[in-house]
Amino acid sequence: MLVVVAVLAYWLGSSGGNGERAAPSPSATPTPSATLATAEVFKRAGPSVVVIQAGKSLGTGVIAAEDGTILTAYHVVRGTKGKDAEDVRVTFADGTKAKAVVVSSNPKRDVAALKPAKLPEIVVPATLGGAVAVGAPVVAIGNPLGLTYSVSTGVVSGLNRTTEEGDRDLGGLIQFDASVNPGSSGGPLLDARGLVIGIVVSIADPGGDEAFAGIAFAVPIGLALGGDEGDGPPGPGI
């Protein structure tokens, strides 16, 4: 009898006396969700996206550093006669407008970095990612056809792709099927955690009409930041 009473007392004490198992204490460092809804990805990355106007060329960029450095596609800010465009203007997510200069460019990767003359009161750099897997969900943010801050979703369709136009090619690309069009170039390709995994640079354009056909390409962020060099100039841009 004493044994039974002791066991019963222990059971009631450990369960709070209601016959149910006590809830575990919350973790001091909660594990972040592996994926975010598309709206949450946009909320996280949207403030880092900028509109770029270089002469008649419209494109997109993404703030990649605390000092406001912007990554974009080189063909967005490519001028004439092999020189960088001189009249480059950017508009930040909060509406701040500024002139910008091309501080570095890599035509072989179709990427460029811009330094704005003026920054918003609050600079929100994007968080850069890394590994990419075929079939993984992606989100593209850009300004297709002048429709600023458009969001589209898709998946990674392939890796290490090459685009070709005549004797020109651009390799090592991420292929994806989120909708992008002229004006999307230079924008971020994001994974389901809101991390930048690539810079959008081109579309497959079998009809030659500069319209999205379900296949788009991005330079992996590691290469955009100065990784392994490519062997040729950029393929067809958007």
What is the pTM (predicted TM-score) of this model? 0.80
Catalytic positions are 75, 110, 185
Please measure the distance between the N-terminal and C-terminal CA atoms of the chain and give it in whole angstroms: 83
Nearest to 162 by CA among 197, 204, 134: 204
Nearest to 218 by CA among 191, 197, 192: 197
Q: Give the Cα separation of 172 and 85 in Å (integer).
A: 26
| Vertex 166 angle, CA 165 and 170, to 5° | 45
Of the candidates 86, 116, 146, which is a domain's last residue?
116
Give the range of the structural domain holding residue 141, as residue numbers without chain letter.
127-224
Residue 135 lies in a domain: yes
Mean pLDDT by 10 residues, the chain (238 residues): 39 40 35 77 97 95 97 90 81 97 93 97 95 96 97 97 69 96 97 97 82 91 76 48
Residue 192 lies in a domain: yes
* Structural domain count, the chain: 2
Structure tokens at 70: 């912007």
CATH no. for residue 99? Answer: 2.40.10.10
What pLDDT is recorded for position 130? Answer: 86
Residue 165 lies in a domain: yes
Burial of 206 (0-12, 13-18, 19+ CB in 10 A): exposed
Q: Give the Cα separation of 11 and 219 in Å (integer).
A: 60
Q: Give the Cα separation of 16 and 197 in Å (integer).
A: 49
* 98 and 138 housed in the same domain: no
Residue 17 lies in a domain: no
Residue 29 lies in a domain: no
Residue 91 lies in a domain: yes
Of the candidates 61, 93, 116, which is a domain's last residue?
116
Residue 142 lies in a domain: yes
Of the candidates 116, 141, 157, which is a domain's last residue?
116
* 109 and 64 housed in the same domain: yes
